[in-house]
Structure 1
């Protein structure tokens, strides 16, 4: 033994002498591979790989797509996948996503190259949707499994899934069943092959039996790891949205650029003011510019002190804060008409610290073009030369500054750099006003506005207007002119009803975008039975999509039948039943939402420009970006940056934004994470000849 050690020592000395290094000087380690933080997605154009790409893009995780349908696509070979950089072996991708376990032809050299790459650098592979068969560690479904529709099935995260990539979920994974007449999901439930190294992460009950079988699991074989997903999906379906974060975490070992959270914010507009009520006889809203029948008498809806007490109590019991967008003139007008007293203002001011407040302009005036309401629909008024008459900069500034002064006089805790204009006016509104009021930007700048609410349904991308960046807001289909369920349902029936049913006929004229109601909803049960489930599902979809944009309703929805609460109760109850406590809803105010969108847009631009370099060597993750770039990453708990904990905790991991100085940011991973991620496997014989999803199957079994 001593002779062996001596021989080794002599060999090292000889090597040192050969390269001309002084004795005792250690060589730099160039044997540990470098793995670039980028995902390779091989797409067949199907919905499953598109969904994974959407998740990567949404999180801000860079990926390279190879489109199998493109004649000009690159060939996937060893040179495409890896090389040597600065004397160190480099894996160009930290994960591989395939449409199934082997989308290439029999005997494919590309699949062989991928398999060898995954072995050499311990690179995980996601099979976005594949057929249950022994090649992926599963029995054919006829042996104790199932193939068919999964609509309405409630799958479950196993103990291994909760301890692994899906630890942010509480356990249930419900599959959508939004329309009983349409098949919305299809998949395979299968049991692992005896002796296979297969770990089930998500399973579901097998119809007609008391057993459960795998729906998502990890298959280890031949020095490789595959995440086998046995159901097809698209990026919008709830079952995928629930699992998407975990799929990315699995493929990246929880170490990747980008981040994902669940956001929900709700803006309540027109607080202190009154909203006009829908008239079911004339199918319009008296007081609006398009309701001109003289018989349509005006009626208004306004909150009361009891509604303030209810809102405060609701917030406390649901651990959620509402954002109140206020118009000061509503209070002053009410006082003028009621002997100087306004109980609503008294209550809201007394409880002002229980809410967040946003300037909604003083009198909710339309701040775009001057409206000519002598015609329906209205048009922009014009000057003698035919040019558009615009609301002036002085008028816009007055609406902003007067409301700030009024709010400050009441002691409201407002941020003066936030604004929501009435009806999002001043910004373009088609078809009447296809451009922003040119006086809007200067008025925003003059008043120091940095964050201005816009309507996501017509202006979804954040953009600069004067000094402000827009914050697109999702409208909830709970109408501003409805205080009761009967009002809401009657208007809903009119808007979405066919002409044959006495509706507006919008759905008749626009069948590609609007579906007619099969029959009018009941005014007594239609809200709870139809509208609430639909609106809460849509809102929950935004929450599950890593989308921070706020939703907005109106003060009329907090009074009378209090229409907002059933929707929010449903969203929050569903979310909290699906997610673990380590992944709470993030409830941001407008300026913080705007800043989040701003950072994301800048990050995506930096990634697109190729100015970000990120890689991992051993227990170090290095990110290089231009000075001022906000860098974001998701890493395991215990990761440090400069000796202190990186980012903040969320969903069992840590993530955050860090401003780059131009120097390399080095994140140090905890030793447990390094060990868990595995090391490069030794070469092994790998079967790369089988195609997927078709192969030899038992008689009677079809895909």
Structure 2
């Protein structure tokens, strides 16, 4: 390209940039205020506000927390809430406000008035995280008809307005947990909207429940519009762990932000099946151990026994996957196949799995499942790290690690398995630190993984909950262990081991749960061997895993090939999760089923985004129907936007994310020659900017700011309540 041509191109680009630049100046600023994409969360230390803050954290949505219990907290006045930019444009610092209730005890009357004026002026919405039914929020007192008390076991119903509005991703029912009938797990105030509202005011129920002893429906969640403001009124107590909140969490944030915010909330479910081609050691019900497992202390010397899938199990897995439209990840050890062929001349399991290979995803689990950390000394139980004569820890060598990884890669290539060689899960997550015996990674691990092209390696979420680096080229992908044991192929074995772990020594158990009450809970009695799995273990595991799914977690869950064999005990749990999800969540929010590398990349992006938010390096705001987001170079922004939103490029527009839960969400980055992201909302989806209060009057801020007016919160909401046997029975009966 000649010099003249280059100059012409540069001038053309400059012209295009000028045309693409947003309008500036006093007239523009006066007509459209800047609304910063950040929430104000006023925290009274209660579980309801903590739950909403947790949802914002999980979704990657920025907020400013004001602690009402802090003597040094800022005063919520006009100067704190809004300012003016250097160009003279009015700037609202918060796009939504979350309060503990409509009139928190820790806020002064002046602060409540300032908040009300701010919300009215800028069209900012307010969430009353948990308030009692009262005329100040557009509801009758909870009497005649009304109800005040526990809501455990109640089933809420999303109204037509809720389904067409913020809760469009729900089927319609919102079941309240009743994990332990002996414990009050929730509490609420059911009442009807005022028949006659104040002038210009209205109340729209969004979620309701039957009022006991009445044919009327009481409000659990509703929109109260008054004085040019909108409040989301929630009349029930909850915490971040409860299913009823997790079902509504996404909608609460979308309502508050009017569907325009940073971050997103999606539902994921992946299942890794470890040890494919290998057998797994079987639990001994007589010796209360797993013969062949170095970590297992046996009572006696039982004969080893193994569990291995059969071709019939492969057929069942393939058919199940097709019927459920759900892909299992098979984590394979090629050495198990080679050993079977060497011993028998052929291996029907290998033949059947290779024939069905396109029905599954495949992940390297090392060739023969060696332990890749320190050299184990199994002379004691549990094992310890071997030492040399100088007392130094002995480590599995780099060559051993590389052979275990690369030989399995080669086996996959030789047998036509469609694998991604950047993915790995080592046997027992070995090589990574394993407390208490091995407090650091094997120093040979990182270089071995890098040499083998591994970028993502599985870790155990129960040991390490967060993604971390292993050397300079590999990141972990934490995995949730499921309480479907690797050494159980039958329900009898599973229940026997479960009873051993979760009953006291007086009841024939190990007493582990008695010795560690902070981490486990003893059952009051052993489970029945014939019914305990279906009646208790399955519903408990379904509830735990569905909690992960509804908490915006892309992390995979893992089981073992033994669980697909014999009694095929994994399927009742998997079916329970999928069936429960389908019954609660609409088709517009399908479960996302990602492979390990995609999960790892998602976690990496989230970490970069969260770091940028924490460092204050993200600027995001809306002016009219245009949203601007600026993040550090190379950091993609996480956004949720209404349908019809497009990203403005230098030339033309492009799509924003993908459709999910009735809106658009995804990662966005600046286009060519752009330093920031510019998103254009459709006219119908552009939130109103509010209107200034009339002279000489102030909008109503509600009443009842004394401590006695605060709604009741059961102590049980301060922590999760474990599912009991009786709670499981009620749960199963409700289906």
Please, what TM-score do these two structures have when normalized by structure 2? 0.90
Q: Match of 1:687? A: 700
Corresponding position: 1:212 with 2:217: yes
1:94-113 Cα distance to aligned partner (Å, 9 max, x none): 00000000114696111111
Question: Cα 1:232–1:383, aligned 2, differ >3 Å: closer, same or farther?
Answer: same
Tell me how far apart the structure 1 counterparts of residues 239 and 482 of structure 2 sit (CA, whole Å): 23
Partner residue in 1 for 2:488? 482
Distance in structure 2 (CA, Å) of the matches to 1:325 and 1:575: 25
Q: In structure 1, how many angstroms separate the alpha carbons of the residues matched to 2:475 and 2:25?
A: 53
Separation of aligned partners in 2, 1:435 and 1:260: 34
Paired residues for 1:161-560 under 5 Å: 161-196=162-197, 197-289=202-294, 290-291=296-297, 295-338=301-344, 340-466=345-471, 467-560=473-566
Deviation of the 1:306 alpha carbon? 0.7
Distance in 2 (CA, whole Å) between partners of 1:389 and 1:511 is: 35
1:295 positional shift: 2.6
For these two proteins, the number of residue pairs brought into alignment is 671
Q: Counterpart in 2 of 1:665?
A: 677
Contact 2:117 2:698 (8 Å CA) reproduced: no
**Which SS does the other structure have where 1:207 is aligned?**
coil
Alpha-carbon contact 2:209-2:220 (below 8 Å) kept: yes
Instruction: Return closer, same or farther for 1:531/1:105 CA change in 2, 3 Å cut-off.
Output: closer
Partner of 2:610: 604
Match of 2:122 in 1: 121
Corresponding residue number in structure 2 for 1:74: 74
* Structure 1 unmatched runs, 5+: 1-24, 698-703
Select 2:630's aligned residue among 621, 624, 641: 624
Rounded to whole Å, the distance in 2 between the matches of 1:513 and 1:544 is 23
- The SS at the match of 2:131 is coil
CA contact (8 A) 1:101 1:693 kept: no
Q: CA deviation at 1:511?
A: 1.5
- SS of the aligned residue for 1:374 comes to coil
Query: For residue 19 of structure 1, what is the aligned residue in structure 2?
Result: none
**What's the secondary structure of 2:28's corresponding residue?**
coil
Measure the CA separation in 1 of the matches of 2:244 and 2:291: 43
Q: Which sits farther off after the overlay, 651-660 or 558-567?
A: 651-660
Specify the SS of the correspondent of 1:213. strand
Partner of residue 656, structure 1? 666
Deviations 1:324-363 (A, max 9, x none): 000001111111121x211111011011111000000000
How many angstroms apart in 2 are the aligned matches of 1:690 and 1:126?
16
Q: How far is 1:688 from its partner?
A: 3.2
Answer yes or no: is the 8 Å Cα contact 1:253–1:677 preserved in 2.
Answer: no
What SS does structure 2 have at the residue aligned with 1:29?
helix
Structure 1, residues 265-292: CA drift from partner, whole Å, max 9, x if none? 0000000000010001000011111346
1:218 counterpart SS class: strand
Asked if the contact 2:264–2:665 (Cα under 8 Å) also holds between the matched residues in 1, the reply is yes
Asked whether the equivalents of residues 43 and 50 of structure 2 are also in contact (C-alpha less than 8 Å), the reply is yes
- 1:46 maps to which residue? 46
CA separation of 1:250/1:300 partners in 2, compared to 1, >3 Å: closer, same or farther? same
Query: Mean Cα displacement is larger for which, 247-256 or 102-111?
Result: 102-111
Q: Residue deviations 1:72-130, cap 9 Å, x none? A: 11111100000110210000000000000011469611111101101111110000000
Shift of 1:652: 0.5
Residue aligning to 2:18: none
Q: Which residue of structure 1 lines up, in the alignment, with residue 83 of structure 2?
A: 83
Note if contact 1:106-1:690 (Cα within 8 Å) is conserved in structure 2: no
Cα distance between partner residues in 2 of 1:27 and 1:536: 57
Deviates more, 1:683-692 or 1:31-40: 683-692
Gaps of 5+ in 2: 1-23, 711-735
Do structure 1's residue 571 and structure 2's residue 583 form an aligned pair? no
C-alpha separation in 1, matches of 2:164 and 2:572 = 34
Measure the CA separation in 1 of the matches of 2:479 and 2:277: 21
**Residue 590 of structure 1 aligns with which residue?**
596
Corresponding position of 1:131: 132
Distance 2:283 2:227 in 1: 67
Is the 2:78–2:118 Cα contact (8 Å) retained in structure 1?
Answer: yes
1:130, 1:692 within 8 Å by CA — same for their partners in 2? no
- 2:568 is equivalent to residue 562 of structure 1: yes
User: Which digits, 9 at most, give the CA deviation of each residue in 1:406-450, with x for residues without a partner?
Assistant: 011110000000000000000011111111100001101111100
Post-superposition offset of 1:690:
1.7
Distance 1:617 1:57, change over 3 A: same
SS of residue in 1 equivalent to 2:29: coil
Measured after TM superposition, the shift of residue 223 of structure 1 is 1.2
8 Å Cα contact 2:589/2:660 also seen in 1: yes
Instruction: Name 1:645's counterpart in structure 2.
Output: 655
* 8 Å Cα contact 2:33-2:689 kept in structure 1: no
Say which SS state the counterpart of residue 621 (structure 1) adopts: strand
Looking at structure 2, the residues matched to 129 and 186 of structure 1 have their Cα atoms a distance apart, in angstroms, of: 10
| CA-to-aligned-CA distance 1:448-473 (integer Å, 9 cap, x gap) | 10000000000111001022100000
SS at match of 2:447: helix
Q: Which moved more, 1:143-152 or 1:394-403?
A: 143-152
**SS of match in other structure, 2:464:** coil
Work out the CA distance in 2 between the residues paired with 1:486 and 1:298: 17
Match of 1:21 in 2: none
Deviations 1:609-638 (A, max 9, x none): 111100000000000111101111000000
- Check the 8 A contact 1:625/1:660 in 2, yes or no: no
Kindly indicate whether the alpha-carbon contact (under 8 Å) linking 1:38 and 1:64 is maintained by their aligned counterparts in 2: yes
Residues 371-413 of structure 1, C-alpha deviation per residue, up to 9 Å, x if partnerless?
0011111110001100000000110000000000001111000
Aligned to 1:15: none
For 2:330 and 2:678, how far apart are their aligned partners in 1?
A: 42
Residues 391 and 230 of structure 1: is their aligned pair in 2 closer, same or farther, counting only changes over 3 Å? Answer: same
Q: CA deviation at 1:26?
A: 9.1
Match of 2:619 among 613, 627, 631: 613
With 505-514 and 384-393 compared, the bigger mean Cα shift is at 505-514
